[in-house]
Structure 1
Amino acid sequence: MKKNILILTCLILSNLSIGQKSENGLKLISDYSSDNPEISDILDFEEIQYLKLKFIGKELSDKSYKLTVKEIWDGKIVRDTTVFDSKNLGLAQFEKVNDTILRLKVISKLTHKNKLRMTFKFPRFSITKEYDAIESHDYSLRNIPDENNFAIKYNEKFYLLAYILPYEREDGSKSWCEVGTSGKEIEKWGEKFGIKHYLLFEMLIE
């Protein structure tokens, strides 16, 4: 019974819209899953994670943006790579934000080849990446600023997303929220919670 309660506690967040604001006026609003209940049911059935992010700020216009990912196995960072860098996309019209709002959709799932396939969709382009994973359907995409009330700032890297496995207790219960809300030492989650693998995404807006 305890296991079911823990899973429910984490899934309640799936249809919430959450906002987070930093000291310098950069705001992040998150929408989980879909407003359409039938589409939401299909996403859940297909184990597709769908997250909509909206950055809002008066100074956002004319900024570049970059997303990087750390692949962490057995508590160690084995790769730190760039997912995308707007300045290096090869198209001048995509190098800078041309508005006070930057929208990003993240669609992801575990493939039958034990890969985490992730598509990052912006209004005018999208990028799809695949990352090695273990054979587990327990992966969960977490919004780090929302879960930990972290400030997001211009010109400084900030943790944006984590694609995690749950903390497994001795009684067999699992908790994703206990991991996702555990504070700033995110790169040590593997060691602290005994997590075999997770992805940690950082963003820079400058």
Structure 2
Amino acid sequence: MKKRTNLTEYLFILLFFCVAATAQKKESSIKMTGDPQPWGSKDMYRLASWQGIHYEKARFSGKELKGKYYYVVSKEIWNGKIKKTDTLFNTQKSSYFEPINTDTLAFSVMGGKSSDRSLKVEFLFDRLSIHNNFLAVDTDEYSLRILDRLATVKPGKPFYAFAFILPYQEKGNKYYCAVESSGKDIEEWGTEFGIEHYILFEMCFFE
């Protein structure tokens, strides 16, 4: 009877450490969240919408951020094919950035049409901003989306953080959220939904 009790205690202790290890592993991941009201007020949102300006705030948190660099890569997808890939910035190769020294990183992204066939996207940090221009379709229906619901953020693993997309059209109606929440492979949106053009912004945290 005593041996059974010891065995039970041993199994209980083993289970406890397995659960603790699993919890610790989950905590080690980096959490990405977006501000549901980045403009701060309805009036500012209406003014920005009237001007065709898109704005998102992203926040990353987790102890594994400390000491990491990160990059942002754009992928331009036309008619279901990745036609162009560019590294917009890499903090490891820039004198303006240092390794992240806290467990939090926050920045904003702004975008909009700069001409009939051009999109401008700007990444806004505390001390500087980085902007890029992209070819676009002659339409004002682009929408900048933060992909915090789709991102699985692990150190050393690339993930998609933002997208500048055109709507999915069906029976005369146009949808954005139906694309984002579809569960489809993000690189296959063009093929799956018949979207002519969109831009993905990939990030990665690394040492």
Q: Secondary structure at the match of 1:188?
A: helix
Match of 1:29 in 2: 33
Match of 1:166 in 2: 167
Match of 1:53 among 43, 49, 58: 58
d(CA) in 1 for partners of 2:132, 2:148: 22
Instruction: Give the gaps of 5 or more residues in structure 1.
Output: 1-21
Aligned partners of 2:74 and 2:85 also within 8 Å: yes
* Alpha-carbon distance, 1:60 to partner: 1.1
Q: TM-score, normalised by structure 1?
A: 0.82
Match of 1:4 in 2: none
Alpha-carbon displacement from aligned partner over 1:20-43 (angstroms, at most 9, x marks no partner):
xx9333112211431123222211
Confirm or deny that 1:111 pairs with 2:114: yes
AA in 2 matched with 1:25: S
Q: Secondary structure at the match of 1:111?
A: strand
d(CA) in 2 for partners of 1:106, 1:44: 15
Q: Secondary structure at the match of 1:145?
A: coil
5 Å matches for 1:1-206?
Answer: 23=26, 24-31=28-35, 32-91=37-96, 94-146=97-149, 148=150, 150-169=151-170, 171-206=171-206
Alpha-carbon displacement from aligned partner over 1:86-108 (angstroms, at most 9, x marks no partner):
011234xx131122111110010
* Alpha-carbon distance, 1:154 to partner: 1.1
d(CA) in 2 for partners of 1:190, 1:175: 14
Q: Secondary structure at the match of 1:107?
A: strand
Match of 1:7 in 2: none
d(CA) in 2 for partners of 1:63, 1:166: 35
d(CA) in 2 for partners of 1:59, 1:45: 40
CA RMSD of aligned residues (A): 1.6
d(CA) in 2 for partners of 1:178, 1:163: 15
Q: Please say which structure displays the higher CA radius of gyration.
A: 2
Aligned partners of 2:116 and 2:137 also within 8 Å: no
* Alpha-carbon distance, 1:184 to partner: 4.6
Match of 1:15 in 2: none
Q: Secondary structure at the match of 2:115?
A: coil
Q: Secondary structure at the match of 1:195?
A: coil
Instruction: Give the gaps of 5 or more residues in structure 2.
Output: 1-24
